Amino acid sequence: MSGAEAFVPTPLMLSDSARKRISALMDEEKNPALKLRVYVTGGGCSGFQYGFDFADNVAEDDTLIEFGKATLVVDPLSYQYLVGSTVDYEEGLAGARFRIQNPNATTTCGCGASFMV
């Protein structure tokens, strides 16, 4: 008889490229406590828009999601819109940016910065 394995679902995923970029920024800033804050605000073409910021400090009600050296910080309001999403980092002709792949979004704008649920 085999034992049951525990599975803890991750509310957000972090791509390898995003993980590497966060680690590189931590090294550049010489700040091992630097975390990527991901949030949702009202506005944008589709009703809500994604935001990113780097944070040293976290609020008591923030959710921390650790991926090795990289950590995501999400506030309680944004959390509900981001569950199941993947945070990615891409570099291209249009520049470099973090972006969200959100399975909860029913529509998104052309640039992918705003969405509707």
- AA identity, residue 74: V
First-residue to last-residue Cα distance in the chain: 44
> Closest Cα partner for 117 from 50, 37, 25, 36?
50
| Strand order from edge to edge, sheet including 63-67 | 63-67, 70-74, 35-42, 48-55, 114-116, 107-108
**d(C-alpha 43, C-alpha 57), whole Å:** 26
Q: Which residues are annotated as a binding site for iron-sulfur cluster?
A: 45, 109, 111
Q: Which residues are annotated as a binding site?
A: 45, 109, 111
